[in-house]
Amino acid sequence: MARLTALNPEEVTGKTKDLLNAVQAKLGVIPNMMRTMGNSPAVLEGYLNLSGALSHGKLSAKTGELLALTISQSNSCDYCVAAHTFIGEKLLKADPQVLQDARTGNSADAKTEAILQFAKKLVSKNGLVNDEDVNAVKNAGVSDAEIAETVAHVALNVLTNYFNNTANTEIDFPAVPSLELQN
């Protein structure tokens, strides 16, 4: 059961209404995560702003989704794993195996795998990566800008993962089996 309330968009006012209306206009729906974030317009606006800014970065939308899967799996966020699997499959037309591999930080593409592995290190080391970690991702051809954006994607996804794990947000995307059940 959800621990924080997912707001009814028909009942909200002010900044929350404006933000949820913008989400509805862009996506055609308002996911439960955003309805729940709407309890604090500052949180919802911060999430939307960072997400929007990253959508114009060096890393592709596909890489962003793969990062989201890697980070969400690392943080055991079932809501985000389901959401990003759905987005990856339906909107980006990514191969299901590519999405599955991303959950463990793997990719057939060496540069993408270096980015995903770096994200896993950022999460597992609480951001305290060392020279070896940074040099490994640079040696895979990842630019400073892409490294900076990887850090930002980790921050964005840690926000959503922690938020959804705290709120116990009701999953409104098709359920994705846990990795343990698939082995």
Domains in the chain: boundaries: 61-169
| Residues in CB range of 1: below 8 A, 6 or more apart | 168
Query: For residues 5-28, b (16+ Cβ closer than 10 Å) or e, as one string?
Result: ebbebeebeeebbebbeebeeeee
pLDDT at 180 over 80: no
Which class is 61-169 in CATH? mainly alpha
> Residues 114-143: pLDDT tens digits?
999 999 999 999 999 999 999 999 999 999
pLDDT of residue 181: 53
Alpha-carbon gap, residue 126 to 79, rounded angstroms: 21
Length of the chain: 183
pLDDT band of 179, cuts 50, 70, 90: confident
Q: What token pair was written down for 91?
A: 């909107």
Question: What are the Cα distances from residue 111, in Å, to 14, 55, 103, 160?
Answer: 44, 19, 16, 25
